[in-house]
Amino acid sequence: MNLSLKSKLYTGIEVAQYTLRNPAGYVLASNGQSLDLEGDTEQCVHCQAMWIKQPGSGVTRSWCWNCNGSTCSKKQCIEHCEPAEAFIERLEAEGNARYMAEQNAKVLAK
């Protein structure tokens, strides 16, 4: 990897390659000619937003102590703690309840 390319993307100064202890993923983006973007990614435990960890960028992320994970620092994710998995389960339960109500209405209408 070209360190100067990475240092321009991250901080504009020469830095050693930075990796997370437990990254959510890794991204390599290219325009076909050269490597445009490379790095470890993190994921918000609430909304599942992803970002590339960029040390020295000045972007402050927050930490949810209930979920024990990084958040994207959006107001909604800071003020309301609902893990993404719990959110999906709640949506599924609401959808199942709505579906069952529609099916019951069809049966009763016959």
Token couple for 6: 């990475």
CB 37 within 8 A of CB 28: yes
Number of domains in the chain: 1
User: Residue 96 is encoded by which pair of tokens?
Assistant: 């199942």
Q: What's the CA gap between 78 and 69, in Å, rounded?
A: 12
Whether the full predicted model's pTM is greater than 0.85, yes or no, is no
- What's the average model confidence in pLDDT over 52-79? 86
Q: What is the pLDDT of residues 58-71, one digit of tens each?
A: 888 888 888 888 89
The CA distance from 88 to 39, in Å, is 28
pLDDT for residue 98 is more than 50 = yes
Determine the Cα–Cα distance for residues 47 and 76; give it in Å rounded to an integer: 9
Would you place residue 55 in the very low, low, confident or very high pLDDT band (cuts 50, 70, 90)?
confident
Range of the domain at 57: 3-81
The answer as to whether 99 is a domain residue is no
> Which residue, chain included where needed, has tokens 């389960």?
89
72 within domain boundaries: yes
Residue 102 in any domain: the answer is no
More confident residue, 79 or 10: 79
Q: Is residue 98 part of a domain?
A: no
